[in-house]
A = this chain, B = another copy of it.
């Protein structure tokens, strides 16, 4: 039997378009002589469909899309396609995250997800009931163990070897194995995060070895709001070795022969190598899809001459092309000439449209208008923020006039400690770097500069400054980023608290100050633009914190 791995880029909510894409790949599979084509999790609805699932008509339309796919298999290869299954009259939601095996014009069998992740960015218990039963599918003399994403993430042996607790009592793969399977299939929508791929590789290999069957893993590719799916679909043989591997960060279509245990051309498509390269690719795909899936083609970035805006702009050019990116420098009276020069040099190196609009005259006009109320109160955070907000307004005005989406440029370190201005530099449709710590901003910038100077070296090397008052530097308000970033990671990503972080060798006073800054900035993050998730725990949807709260523990 020849099985195709169809690693496609679906769009959340685009039922008809997703079904069209499935049928398009079934046609390609027919041309390549495949018997069965495997698609990613929730193929038809896209992932994550979120509260679209609350609308009964959405579920109905998803079932109609499934009918269309099933009908197409009358004259095309069989399809294993993800959809939302509904059983009326049940206690619970009556909805299941499911896979349909479609062949000969019909839905042959339906396989529901047993393990429903409900942590971090996942809310599956909100929407779905767990599979009422687990059963092997018979297809062309094979016994297929069909599993959905999290279903393979609970192998008792593997977690025990990793010395980490299991999340669930049940292992659906064991149940499939008990019925006898000769092939394990896993359809996934597993988002990219740094370091996750090495872990997944070990885990899939362990599962394949333990049950002595090949494992076909088809993962979603594409960006959907903050989540970036990296694809990296593959076939593990019964020894846990990778036989076939799809590209990462792009659609991919591969055929594997179960008899010969071989694959045709492209069995090992090129994937990104180093971690920093995968993060770069993830951010690029995240920008492209967030804009593209909303119908935007172009972006505008405010260029301060600093490294965050330079990196954001360079990534935007990678994602959208230089002709679709506009850079605007908005110097204040506190901006140094080198900032303006660096911004212009970046725009030139990237080959993008570039403008400069000084904010001083507008800022002065605000100050004058506020004088009757402010009287002689000294310059403080009110005036600092006003400058950032004038810049935000200019970007939004440009966006409204020409239809470019504004990319905001704040990094995760700033977002964590609140070193950013609501409605100012936080303005924008997408916060490209809001999950990228400052130290990683430098790593990415160095990576982009490997072949030629894209981001001016001067931008990378100078001391970071917000330039909102004379001689201001980040180091006046914040610990050095080499200290700040590991504290943020320990607190935000690992959930550690003061004493545990201090035990890693940081000063207690610094740790407490950083935590206090993080907690006090929650209100800003609540109004932040959607950010692209690349670390284990990002701000936003996967981290839900109260704003009005006590802090006396």
Contacts and interface: CB of A to CB of B under 8 A. Distances in A.
A125 B52 CA distance: 20
B373 A357 contact: yes
A286 to B, nearest CB: 10
Interface in A405-454: 422-423, 427, 429
A357 B11 CA distance: 46
Given A92-B167, A118-B118, A125-B125, A545 B51 contact: yes
B385 A366 contact: no
Interface in A271-296: 289-291, 293-294
Nearest to A373: B355
Nearest to A547: B225
Interface in A369-408: 369-370, 372-374, 377, 380-383, 385-386, 389-390, 392-394, 396-398, 400-401
A527 interface: yes
A423 B391 CA distance: 12
Nearest to A170: B91
Contacts of A14: 549-553
Contacts of A290: 547-548
B380 A400 contact: yes
Interface string A335-365: 0000000000000000000010111011001
Interface residues of A, number: 99
A110 B11 CA distance: 47
B394 A548 contact: no
Interface stretch (A54-62, A140-148, A259-267, A466-474): A54-62
A261 B422 CA distance: 56
A139 interface: no
Interface string A490-526: 0000011101100000000000000000000001001
Contacts of A423: 389, 392-393, 396, 423, 427
Interface string A103-128: 00000000000000011000101100
A382 B224 CA distance: 28
A13 B423 CA distance: 28
A91 B166 contact: yes
Closest 8 CB pairs of A and B: A14-B550, A382-B400, A57-B497, A13-B549, A293-B548, A423-B423, A125-B125, A382-B401
Interface of A: 11-18, 46, 48-52, 54-58, 61, 89, 91-92, 118-119, 123, 125-126, 165-169, 223-225, 289-291, 293-294, 355, 357-359, 361-362, 365-366, 368-370, 372-374, 377, 380-383, 385-386, 389-390, 392-394, 396-398, 400-401, 422-423, 427, 429, 495-497, 499-500, 523, 526-530, 541, 543-553
